[in-house]
Chains A and B, each alone.
Chain A
Amino acid sequence: MTTLQVTDLTVSLPHGGDRPEAVSKVSFAIERNEILCLVGESGSGKSVIAQAVMGLLPKTLVIASGKIVLEDQDLTSCGTARLRQLRGARMSMIFQEPMTALNPVMSCGAQLDEVFRIHTAFSAAERKARSAALLREVSIADPERILGAYPHQLSGGQRQRIGIAMALALEPALLIADEPTTALDVTTQAQILNLILELQRRHGMGVLFITHDFGVVAEIAHRVAVLRTGELVESGPKDRVLKQPQHEYTRMLIRSVPTLKPHGRIADSNSPLVLQTRNLGKIYPVGRWFGARREVRAAEDVSLEVRRGQTLGIVGESGSGKSTVARCIVRLIEPSGGEVLLDGEDIAAAPQRRLRELRRRVQIVFQDPYRSLNPRRSVGEAIIEGPLNYGVPRSQALERARRLLELVRMDPGSLGRYPHQFSGGQRQRICIARALAVEPELLVADEAVSALDVSVQAQVLALLEEIRGRLDLAMLFITHDLRVAAQVCDRIAVMQRGRIVEYGPVREVFGAPRHEYTRALFAAAPGRDFDFGAA
């Protein structure tokens, strides 16, 4: 039996949008016992489809035409009261951010209990027993304790498990998962994906799985539908779509996914040392007025070297301390111990006046392109800020800004425009130009491509590679994504809980990881059996 049948669905956007329709004439079906992955880049309309199915579209978006049939009920014509009955009971949803999807002032038990109270006639004891059974089903070790816990007391993975338990409480026929693992670390992601697969099989549900990540698609999908700016360009069984994509857009997307195979470039180990850290550490004291003082060791004993013309990657999950190290090196935060040597001079101990000169030589590009540029300053002002700080005359600085925009493949005429007029990828290029404007010796890229769509990510990575080569720049590349690291890094440091657990040339680390944490990271990398980028 078909669980969900979407036929010619069109959702119109309000006037003044970048296109008239968020979703145009999209048709697909999900059978019982099947996982359909809806893949697309940001703005492709994949979340709009999920909201349309759930009847949760914002008021400004209207279903203009088309039919959504769940089992044998037409959802577009059934009215809000019926939709409310169906939500939770016959279809349910898990969200990207488990922290905001759960109510922070209700215990997990109370939230699960609410689902049963609203939809069923179970007694209180029965509801409690069922809640505990559900938590066991989503592999939560200590259900009684977790039922009494509040969302902030749980880890991201546990929270997402609670979200899944709530979605499954009433045995829905259709589960919609909107990027459910995007906010999670790679090892947690692997566990959650396995859990969804297992539960889907056990309950025979149809699953609409929305993602932008082809690795995740390779792990979980039975069938794949590719969405581009509201239109379905290709759909079919996973193996066919991933291995023999028909549409040019799908081919481009799959080509853009970096492979896990390291590049073949051989780093020259005699190249001069640009930056070296020795036993770098950062400790945050967690002081309480009453009770014991604690220390959080964000980074400990970090010793690294970056050579000219080479890229050192730091990989690790969230909280591993990789960003802390980057920020200590740029001295946005004060290291609590150790040395950061730039050409032999210690940045960590430099006094303010000397630090200003040293700052010029180390620049950083941040993760979020939307917050990295001051919204009230034009692109030109942003790029010349650094040179002006170091006494370069304005006209000369502007000339340099124009050259830099060309270098990052942007129109030099963009100098007078403001950040909101550019896309995420373009903004990231502007940020790179801004960092290069002071002619640094070391460029720190802190998750600089993580917020970008895969096709844009590939372009920015290629740009960074080209710049590194042309300017003979040393680069420190912070990422959580092993695929990205494989493409750009010469050497790699793997961090876990503030410490480096493995450090070596990329081919050794990727070819024969020695530390068990590194091996776990590789095992968790989604889609590792698929050879992307080769298609």
Chain B
Amino acid sequence: MILRNWSVRIGGISLLILIAIAIAAPLLGTVDPTLFDAASRDLRPGETGEISTLDGETLKHTFLMGSDSFGRDVYSRVLYGARVSLLIGLCVALLALAFGIVLGLCAGYLRWLDGPLMRVMDGLMAIPSVLLAIALVALWRPSLTTVVIAIAIPEMPRVSRLVRSLVLSIREEPYVEAAVALGTPTVKIMFGHILPNTAAPLIVQGTYIVAFAILVEAILSFLGVGLPPDIPTWGNIMAEGRVQFVAYPHNVFYPGVFLAVTVLAVNILGDGLRDTLDPKMAKRV
């Protein structure tokens, strides 16, 4: 049923290919993305040059996507960058969903918590999410964990709002009232009866968060407040290429294409999932 939807097929297959590329990066003719060689600076795509390994050896290497101003292989950096981007997308989505679900369930089902919780969420939503993420990363030492948390926190209110609205309608269903009458403890009702019935819209929302997180991570890295520069990410590859963009556009072009394709694939997948899992949600998001 789900696999019959063309958006799901296209988005899903594109995403699977990207994941395969990220996992198989070492096997796809790449070198260590941190390696550099002063002799191979600013090569154009397809040119051959040299690159020295950590052991002091010098290898001949074809720079499929050219090299940057340090003489690093853009192809290797883009492929390894896919790992970081996808990992961050997934982690942010899981984290934002986990906390958003708990907060939304509490706000929706325990009415006395609703007011205070949702006002805090409203407050969070009033701050532009990229700005909030920058502030949070600046507060902590930049690392994968802090970036994930910093992107996830501004996403949480969106999830919790969605969950809350779903809970508010599901809690009125007679099967929930029947469970109350059967003496089922509140926590069991929240997680056993209500949560499973919110799954479809949440999966869809999850894919949008993945796409958004990948973008925000790229923005943070581009601005130099994201991951430390020794971890290759699409954002900081582009940031490094920015200065020489006119002379050597490949430094920005290739990571940019990967970023755009990934976000597009995830969004198409999300749209397809929405149409198949939850036709009503089109109105809500």
Which of A254-262, A356-364, A474-482 lies at the interface? A356-364
> From residue 155 to 182 of chain B, which have CB atoms closer than 8 A to chain A?
173-182
Q: Say if the beta carbon of B185 comes within 8 Å of chain A.
A: yes
Stretch at the interface among A284-292, A382-390, A493-501: A382-390
Q: Does B61 contact A (CB under 8 A)?
A: no
Q: Is A470 an interface residue (CB 8 A)?
A: no
Q: Which 7 A-B pairs rank lowest in CB-CB distance, beginning with the nearest? A: A386-B182, A366-B174, A372-B174, A376-B196, A359-B183, A374-B175, A389-B183
Distance between Cα atoms of A359 and B178 in the complex (Å): 11
The answer to whether A509 has its CB under 8 Å from any CB of chain B is: no
Q: Bound state CA distance, A356 and B173, in angstroms?
A: 20
Which partner residue on chain B sits nearest A446 by CB separation?
B174
Residues of B with C-beta under 8 A to A367? 174
Number of B residues contacting the other chain (C-beta, 8 Å)?
16
Asked, given contacts A366-B174, A371-B173, A374-B175, whether A359 binds B197 with beta carbons under 8 Å apart, the answer is no
Write the nearest CB–CB distance from B113 to chain A, whole angstroms: 17
**In the bound complex, CA of A435 to CA of B174 (Å):** 13
Q: Is the CB of A363 within 8 A of B180?
A: no
Query: Is B185 touching A431 in the complex (CB atoms < 8 A)?
Result: no
B175: min CB distance to chain A, Å: 4
Across-interface contacts of A169 in B (CB, < 8 A): none
B193 interface neighbour in A332, A363, A368, A374, Cβ under 8 Å: A374
Tell me if B178 and A434 are in contact (CB < 8 A): yes
Closest to B177 in A: A332
Question: Interface size of A by Cβ–Cβ distance < 8 Å?
Answer: 27
Q: Which of A373, A374, A375 has most chain B Cβ within 10 Å?
A: A374
Say whether A280 faces chain B, with CB atoms less than 8 Å apart.
no
Q: Is the CB of A390 within 8 A of B183?
A: yes
Tell me the bound Cα distance from A382 to B184 in angstroms: 11
A371 near B174 (CB under 8 angstroms)?
Answer: yes
Q: How far is the CA of A367 from the CA of B185 in the complex (A)?
A: 24
15 other contacts beyond A364-B181, A372-B174, A385-B182, with CB at 8 A cut-off?
A: A332-B177, A332-B181, A359-B180, A359-B181, A362-B181, A364-B178, A372-B175, A374-B179, A374-B193, A377-B193, A385-B179, A389-B182, A389-B184, A435-B178, A438-B182
Query: Which residues from chain A contact B196 at a C-beta distance below 8 Å?
Result: 374, 376
By a CB distance below 8 angstroms, the chain A residues around B177 are: 332, 364, 366
Q: Does chain B have a CB within 8 A of A330?
A: yes
State the B residues within 8 Å of A (CB). 173-185, 193, 196-197
User: CB distance A375 to B197 under 8 Å?
Assistant: yes
* Contact sample, A vs B, 6 pairs, CB 8 Å cutoff: A332-B180, A359-B183, A363-B182, A366-B177, A374-B175, A374-B179
* Residue pair B181, A363 in contact (C-beta under 8 Å): yes
A431 contact from B176, B178, B180, B183, Cβ within 8 A: B178
A226 to B174, CA, bound (A): 33
What does DSSP make chain B's interface, helix, strand, loop or mixed?
Answer: helix
Is the CB–CB distance between A373 and B184 below 8 Å? Answer: no
Compute how far the CA of A475 lies from the CA of B174 in the bound complex, rounded to whole angstroms. Answer: 19
Please give, as numbers and ranges, the residues of chain A lying within 8 Å of B176 by CB-CB distance: 374
Chain B nearest CB, measured from A188 CB (Å): 26
Residues of B within 8 A of A371 (CB): 173-175
Residue contact A372 to B178, C-beta cutoff 8 Å: yes
Contact yes or no, A356 B183, CB < 8 A? yes
- Once bound together, how far apart are the Cα atoms of A438 and B181, in whole Å? 10
Q: Which residues of B contact A434 (CB under 8 A)?
A: 178, 182
- Chain A residues whose CB sits within 8 angstroms of the CB of B197 once the complex forms: 374-376
Chain B hits for A330, CB < 8 A: 181
Assess whether A385 is in contact with B173, with CB atoms less than 8 Å apart.
no
Q: CA of A431 to CA of B196 in the docked complex: distance in angstroms?
A: 20
In the complex formed, the residue of A with least CB distance to B170 is A374
Report the minimal beta-carbon distance from B173 to chain A, rounded to whole angstroms. 5
Please give, as numbers and ranges, the residues of chain B lying within 8 Å of A390 by CB-CB distance: 183
- Asked whether A360 and B175 contact (CB < 8 A) given A375-B197, A376-B196, the answer is no
- Tell me the complex Cα distance, A364–B177, Å: 9
Chain A residues lying within 8 Å of B173, measured Cβ to Cβ, are 371
Query: Does B183 lie within 8 Å of A360, measured CB to CB?
Result: yes
For residue A170, give the distance in angstroms from its CB to the closest CB of chain B: 35
Interface residue from A362, A366, A374, A389 paired with B185 (Cβ < 8 Å): A389
CB-CB under 8 A from A373, the residues of chain B are: 175
Q: Which of A310-368 contact B (CB under 8 A)?
A: 330, 332, 356, 359-360, 362-364, 366-368
| CA A384 to CA B80, docked complex, whole Å | 51
Task: Give CA–CA (A179, B193) in the complex, Å.
Answer: 35
Interface residues of A in 480-497 (CB under 8 A from B): none
Give chain A residues whose Cβ lies under 8 Å from the Cβ of B182: 359-360, 363, 385-386, 389, 434, 438
Q: Give Cα A371–Cα B173 distance, bound, in whole angstroms.
A: 6
> Do residues B181 and A368 form an inter-chain contact, with CB atoms below 8 A?
no
Q: Which residues of A contact B185 (CB under 8 A)?
A: 389
Q: Once bound together, how far apart are the Cα atoms of A431 and B184, in whole Å?
A: 16
Complex CA gap A435/B182 in Å reads: 8
Q: A420-446 CB contact bits vs B (8 Å, 1 = yes)?
A: 000000000001001100100000000
Inter-chain contacts of A359 with B (CB < 8 A): 180-183
